[in-house]
Structure 1
């Protein structure tokens, strides 16, 4: 279900681009593209992997998308062209922001962002020395969807050189690296439970938190695998997050990134039914049915004591038990 939802979402984005060709061509010939990309080495991990910063700069008013783009969009992606023996890990996304386009909610970045990719050598286990310079440069294709009043897909071929980048880039990398989500913990932030509940005619999932950072919860960004949410209705506050659902079919688990005043935390939990009793689409359908039966019974009883119905009650009783004369005739005939 999730896979089909994402496919349909991507197709809708490109159909919108095809439907508005005049807006697209209005931006393409006008000089530089609205997004520029480059890569630079951040440093080596203790395990010997090379951490790479993927730097995107957006013109004013333009934005690119997080790993879960929201109601529509496409996340930034990178495809490395590496020599034999070298592999790249998945792209790491810092905590995003939220932007609205009409009634659609999107998650991503404006102005600029540094994403992170890690390159590992086949012999990197236990080593801390740098990669030999002769393996450089590494090349990659970075792709994105940039949106403002209209959307333009873009890409760039980037080249990673050996050496130390400018201090300015390293400072940017440090800032954005501090926004990478970390695993939640009982001391900082812990998701105690995720409960499915019904409020009026809508279903929602309520997340309850504890820990030192729980009182400073500011936002929640659902993971790409979590669908069926009304993203425009997400609400976050001290020690809780509320996720309204678009239907009565609730997901079995919830996962995402919680933003607090002190950082970003990855959380995950199975969704529990409320302890007070059944809920969900089955119970919400049974309750109106039982109420209808109750009202029908009460209405039938009232109808039987109405003045216009009273004379008929005697005829109904006689038809059920029969008259004395009829019983006598039957007895005589039997003799």
Structure 2
């Protein structure tokens, strides 16, 4: 979806009210500056390097000087995802043929995960004034429309005038200020030592990649692309390779082909270096460079992330979503009774191999999808109805096997051959146990897991491989522990009648898991598809145990019914009403731009990104969010609880998560007047943490002047 938000009427009414209270303080004009326009947000004047117009003068060096109040800012010519650039009308001027308005390099401001570009504290826009009649007096008159923002946004509209008579002389103070900011105007690429500049926008206009090589080193660059009116870009991934290659990738949040202009890229690298280039479009996205900063002290960083990923996988074993996984593990452990130590070790190693194979396959798939520009994340396969039906079928097989309806076995010839080579047909079942257990663990998130996944999916192929390998090792560690010490199996109770009761209990757990998957399928595909899939599944269950069907007919009929269920799920899918918005909390629908608008009214916004398939999300909701005192706080007059339901694919939610460097859920953040960039909470919520975040975000404080500003509005005149 390609869209931007417009200024709301209340902002403009508020702006008028604020402007009425601002103090207009005219000052005495000097020969080289106009009288000042001064309000709380900004003090503005025209200045000139010349005190007067000399007899031969054809041009003048002037400037529009803005001194912004504490915590206020204004915008660059391309304001980013929000804001409005300054607009100057010179039509009232006399003896002026043209005015060339120059833009010093901007700064980046981030609030509510929204990127915008502009200036704070002070800025002088250099003006190159060409005279209509050289050597004659000049009346420079400017009507200035300016948007200034802090905790509120105030549009300014004022007039400035500067008259320069005939004469000579230099205003050195004004000349120095103009010269200072003229030096900050980006140079053209060739003059800045740029060797090559390349760019690539993918086919669905969701990702922009830029690569620039320079004859001098890059140190701490920032990149500001301009893609035309109506365009908006998210938070960039900027890397430096070999010190002279700059690589940057941007998510494209909005792109209007009819208003697009040739891509222009401005780069800043410290206060002394800024340049603008027009990259050459290429057909393939430039590959990320080997980022020295990420690897040196990269070993320390990679080791730390590897440990975080291992702990995330280990903790995942104890999460509520892994009850079916634990049941399968117990079933596997029961089968180990009577087997030799070597067979026990081999069986649990096979289960661990199943976990690792799934993790490596998942890593490969996510990397491939990432390379072609598809939004990726942890647990996203549960948004796919075909995947859900496959999982239901597999669960049905495990459940039927536990209840003794049939045994899963390989053909006799293959079983005999495997036995001869020492594997044993049972090892394939152990492998499948580990594989399926890993699959069923993915709808959960756990402490450390989000950090590891974010690092992997924001990095290189090596990062993805390392993180998912360590994650798999953590998840497989219970299997590996038994494989290392097979004697642990002896501590299990001896076989007896209790095993029948245990198998029945495990079967009931799997039935509960299947019921949960049906619930998820309703949210993803709707009631109609779910009823058809359920009917086919019931027919499959009856056919598999029917005594009047021969064994030769059961498999063909079962496969046919399973294929019909897989085909029916996506073909009959509808767009059901989101069930998650009903409940004890008065949720409002997720709207990224609405976060800023509500905070501008003094509200605190609690954002909950959830899904029907996320069991950790459900646990957070039941144990924390829908219990007092958190429930009372979320339904209070000062808090707006905002629900982002990711049960089905949603590009806006995916981009919001990516902007926050997250690729999985649950994700909870609190925004408010004191927290415009958001307070991100842990995956596992606690009442104390939520209440503290709500309290801290609601404290009314001004910006500290370090670039943390509250954004209130999208670009004026942009389409919804």
TM-score by length of 1: 0.67
The 2-side partners of 1:118 and 1:64 are apart by: 22
Instruction: State the Cα deviation string for residues 219-249 of structure 1 (Å, max 9, x = none).
Output: 1112261654433x12333222222223799
In the TM superposition, what is the alpha-carbon distance from 1:267 to its structure 2 partner? Answer: 1.3
Matches within 5 A, 1:133-172: 133=136, 135-162=137-164, 164=169, 166-172=171-177
The residue aligned with 2:237 is 235
The 2-side partners of 1:100 and 1:94 are apart by: 19
Whether 1:259 and 2:268 are equivalent positions in the alignment is yes
The residue aligned with 2:219 is 216
Matches within 5 A, 1:127-138: 131-133=134-136, 135-138=137-140
In the TM superposition, what is the alpha-carbon distance from 1:208 to its structure 2 partner? Answer: 1.3
The 2-side partners of 1:179 and 1:168 are apart by: 17
Structure 2: where are the runs of 5+ without partners?
A: 25-38, 241-245, 288-367, 375-380, 394-539, 557-720
- Aligned match of 2:60 in 40, 50, 56? 50
Instruction: State the Cα deviation string for residues 266-286 of structure 1 (Å, max 9, x = none).
Output: 1112432328999568xxxxx
Change (3 A) 1:36 1:203: same
| Runs of 4+ residues deviating >6 angstroms | 247-252, 275-278
The 1-side partners of 2:253 and 2:551 are apart by: 49
The residue aligned with 1:178 is 183
Whether 1:310 and 2:315 are equivalent positions in the alignment is no
In the TM superposition, what is the alpha-carbon distance from 1:192 to its structure 2 partner? Answer: 3.0
The 2-side partners of 1:247 and 1:138 are apart by: 38
Instruction: State the Cα deviation string for residues 127-169 of structure 1 (Å, max 9, x = none).
Output: xxxx435x33322212211111101111332122326564222
Change (3 A) 1:217 1:267: farther
The 2-side partners of 1:244 and 1:70 are apart by: 13
The 2-side partners of 1:247 and 1:177 are apart by: 32
Instruction: State the Cα deviation string for residues 98-121 of structure 1 (Å, max 9, x = none).
Output: 223333322111111100222223
The residue aligned with 2:97 is 87
Change (3 A) 1:228 1:313: same
Whether 1:64 and 2:74 are equivalent positions in the alignment is yes
Whether 1:35 and 2:38 are equivalent positions in the alignment is no
Task: Give the total of aligned pairs.
Answer: 277
SS in 2 for 1:215: coil
User: How much is the aligned-residue C-alpha RMSD, in angstroms?
Assistant: 4.2
The 2-side partners of 1:249 and 1:280 are apart by: 18
SS in 2 for 1:179: coil
Instruction: State the Cα deviation string for residues 242-263 of structure 1 (Å, max 9, x = none).
Output: 2222379997953121112441
The 1-side partners of 2:551 and 2:284 are apart by: 47
In the TM superposition, what is the alpha-carbon distance from 1:24 to its structure 2 partner? Answer: 5.4
**Residues 102, 125 of structure 2: 8 Å contact kept:** yes
Of Structure 1 and Structure 2, which has the larger fraction of its residues in strand?
1
**Residues 81, 231 of structure 2: 8 Å contact kept:** no
SS in 1 for 2:179: helix
In the TM superposition, what is the alpha-carbon distance from 1:52 to its structure 2 partner? Answer: 1.6
- Aligned match of 2:252 in 245, 248, 253? 245
SS in 1 for 2:49: strand
**Residues 78, 91 of structure 1: 8 Å contact kept:** no
Of Structure 1 and Structure 2, which has the larger fraction of its residues in helix?
2
TM-score by length of 2: 0.34
